[in-house]
Amino acid sequence: MTTQSFRARRDNFPATVTRFIGRKRELSAVAAAIDAHRLVTLRGPGGVGKTRLALQVAAAARDAFGQGAWLVELSVIRCRDLLAPEVAKALGLPDVAPGDPDGDLARHLAESDLLLVLDTCEHLVTACADLASTLLAACPGLRILATSRERLGVPGEQVMLISPLEVFTGRGTTGHGPASVSASDLDAMGRSEAVELFLDRARATVPGYALTAANASAVARLCRRLDGIPLAIELAAVRLRSMSAEEIAGRLDDRFRVLGTARTLTDRHRTLRAAVRWSHELCTPAEQRLWTRLSVFPGGFTSEAAEAVGGPGTSEVLARLTDKSVVARDQDTAPGDAAPDGSPRYRLLDTMREFGGELLPPGDRDDARRRHRDHFQALVARAATQSAGPEQVRWMTWVRREAGNLRAALDYSFATPGQEAAGLAMTVGLRCYWLMLGAYGEGTRWHQLAVATCPGSPDNAWAIFGAGLQAVLQGDLVTAGPLLARAASLAAALPDPRLAASVTDAEGMAAFHAEDAHTATGRHAAALAYFKEHGFTDALSLACYSNLASARLLAHQLDDAIELCEEGARQCEALGDQWALGTVMRVRGGVRWMSGDNEGAVADTLESLRIEEALGDQRTMTMCLDVIAVVLATRGDAGRGDYVRAAELCGAGDTMWETLRAPSRRGPAYAKVRQDAAAKCQAALGEARFEAALGRGAAMSLAEAVALARGQVRGPVSARPRPLTRREREIATLVAQGLGNRDIAERLYLSKRTVDSHLEHIFSKLGFTSRTQLTNWVLSQ
């Protein structure tokens, strides 16, 4: 289990609201290319439909991959350092390490079996090529489908040129004005891919619109003038609200006469730009101004954010741009993914964003980017006051959703002379959220810039503390020590007693990692005393309860630890905090286990799991899996399947910790408790049964592991036969060749446990019980 097995979903594709038209030959050819090559790049001009084709192919190929197919939209990033983190985010992985993000991602995906769709690579070609090379070399089960205006240039890359849709060039399509169209020509026109697309989009604008003898010549000529480019055709179809097809075709004839007939990629790019420019010229001055200013958004945005950049009256103009298909309204905005006020999200199509950005004068660009930054800085300031309150969950979702805009605002601030203080303030305000969401790499990157900004200021002192805390939670105590010492010195000099207490708490965490229970207890106790007297202003100050309880647990002061957890739970409930409450409940579960109360330990840990699952806190969820495994191994009721279930949870936990990076296991004492539980299971089950159970757990999705921890029986396999994945077919073939599991693991560079798990899935899917049955089946195929 790596990467996508953490999710119950098999893809992350956006909802589609329009039909996919044509491309039968391309669908077949691209699918065959993916089957034969590990890197396939769809190359073509903007607006030709590369992304839609890639998603259509990937959706069809999804079930051939054990962990599905996943889209990474690269248009939202501009910096190569953010490429691997963006891929990790799309896959639902924790943030990758900032030092070697490509290598870290490759380690996460080493045994993955999935199709990765890298969309819009042209502005990061070199970075995409480097990442693809790294991933393909380290991940034998990975395939990549890329879209780009140019090839990536990676050895083994299969480049496929995507042409526009076929256009009808028969009689009656080249002249001006109505032409006599025969019934056979009318039928042939309707089957033309370009005409079919125009008609489909036209019906969304003018219900019931149809191809007739009266409009057929104009429609066919229009599609030909636009050279079959899907985006250009869709933009033209929108004009049917105010023009006839003949009028639209006439306008296009005048506009494109100087271009001649487009044949090369450059010509087609000029055709699309001319169509986009025409759409721009048909907009009112207010619409044109907003179009250009919206180009500063790297991805989605709310109407509130648009108004902050565009000024008063933007909402009405935004609605008109949406009607004209310049701006798209996201159809898959879930309630939890909307803005804190529940408003929907919008986005500019990539081509429209590129065009708008080119028309935005430098002075207006700086003004728009500053307004964009000011808007998100104000929201971050609001979020910072809610990290421990009843709005905590919504703001956590907002920070995750607005990652692209927050990066753009931070980048503008740190890269623009005179604006660095704003970036520093945003970094300080986002500290809690990055830590709660496990975005350690993201937090570390911006803290590295913040620690050098406005030296000696209060925000700078907090940034230095934040950098030190990030290092502690990633197990990097060598880096953390000097940073926390600097923060402590600044806290004393300012003075800032709350910062001093926060540094003291972080020093306690470092001591806990080093198994110094005495120092950890003293530091956490001092910090908690301050917070209790002066107030809990953020989630991290509330987490001081669980930090001190953990230190008491390490020192075997169990009664004190229970009392702290109960007091912390009451405080969290009073404030409406969920994240720190989940952490406290998980620690109390551990304390109850050490006290011999196995049932109470399970109840507390499952409550923590329920809370943290809703928040998406994979680190705490993994700790919960560990606690349940330890409790089951301790209880050891073979009749209830405790040892098997515990071993499976150990396997799930092993892979999760590999993904989260091992230092987060909170020191050697924690690791030893896990090891002892696994050893008990191995002794009770025997090596073969233990390894098989461990392998099953390692192959589980996080959702499946959580269900197992809850004791929920996994549902029966569907009666409909499930196809073998590409990896499973490969393993089945090697079994038929007489190779044992260890030999197969060596051949495919996998662990034996992974091969064991794949083979079990193969037997389950095919209903077989022996290798002989599988061999006969392979030979029959």
Handedness of CA 10, 14, 17, 21 (dihedral sign): negative
pLDDT: which is higher, 743 or 519: 519
Q: DSSP for 542-560? A: HTHHHHHHHHHHHTT-HHH
Round to whole Å and give the CA distance between 166 and 193.
Answer: 6
Closest CA to 372 of 416, 328, 336: 416
Place 341 in a pLDDT band, splitting at 50, 70 and 90: low
Amino acid letter for position 71? L
pTM of the model: 0.82
pLDDT tens, position by position, 473-505: 888 899 999 999 999 999 999 999 999 999 999
Q: How many CA atoms lie within 13 A of 83 on its CB side?
A: 25
- Please tell me the predicted confidence (pLDDT) of residue 33: 94
pLDDT tens, position by position, 353-398: 989 999 999 999 999 999 999 999 999 999 999 999 899 999 999 9
pLDDT tens, position by position, 149-194: 899 999 999 999 998 898 887 655 555 544 566 777 788 888 889 9
58: tokens are 């990937």
Closest CA to 696 of 664, 655, 724: 655
pLDDT tens, position by position, 552-607: 999 999 999 999 999 999 999 999 999 999 999 999 999 999 999 999 999 999 99
CB burial string 497-526: b at 16+ within 10 A, e below = ebbbbbbbbbbbbbbbbeebbebbbbbbbb
Closest CA to 236 of 176, 319, 244: 244
Round to whole Å and give the CA distance between 507 and 625.
Answer: 27
Helix-helix angle 420-436:362-384, to 10 degrees? 40
Place 18 in a pLDDT band, splitting at 50, 70 and 90: confident
- Please tell me the predicted confidence (pLDDT) of residue 512: 92
- Please tell me the predicted confidence (pLDDT) of residue 258: 40
Closest CA to 549 of 592, 510, 578, 504: 592
Q: What is the mean pLDDT of residues 27-46?
A: 93
Round to whole Å and give the CA distance between 355 and 213.
Answer: 36
Q: What is the mean pLDDT of residues 310-331?
A: 88
Q: DSSP for 275-338? A: HHHHHHHTS-HHHHHHHHHGGG-SS-EEHHHHHHHH-TTHHHHHHHHHHTTSEEE-S---GGGS
How distant, in Å, are the alpha carbons of 182, 270, 300, 505 from that of 413? 63, 35, 20, 30
Q: Is the pLDDT of residue 457 over 90?
A: yes
3-class SS of residue 347:
strand
Phi, psi angles (nearest 5°) of residue 28: -65, -45
Helices (H) and strands (E) in the chain, counts: 38, 8
Round to whole Å and give the CA distance between 584 and 586.
Answer: 5
pLDDT tens, position by position, 82-105: 899 999 989 888 777 777 889 989
Phi, psi angles (nearest 5°) of residue 597: -95, 80
Q: Is the pLDDT of residue 32 over 60?
A: yes
20: β partners: none
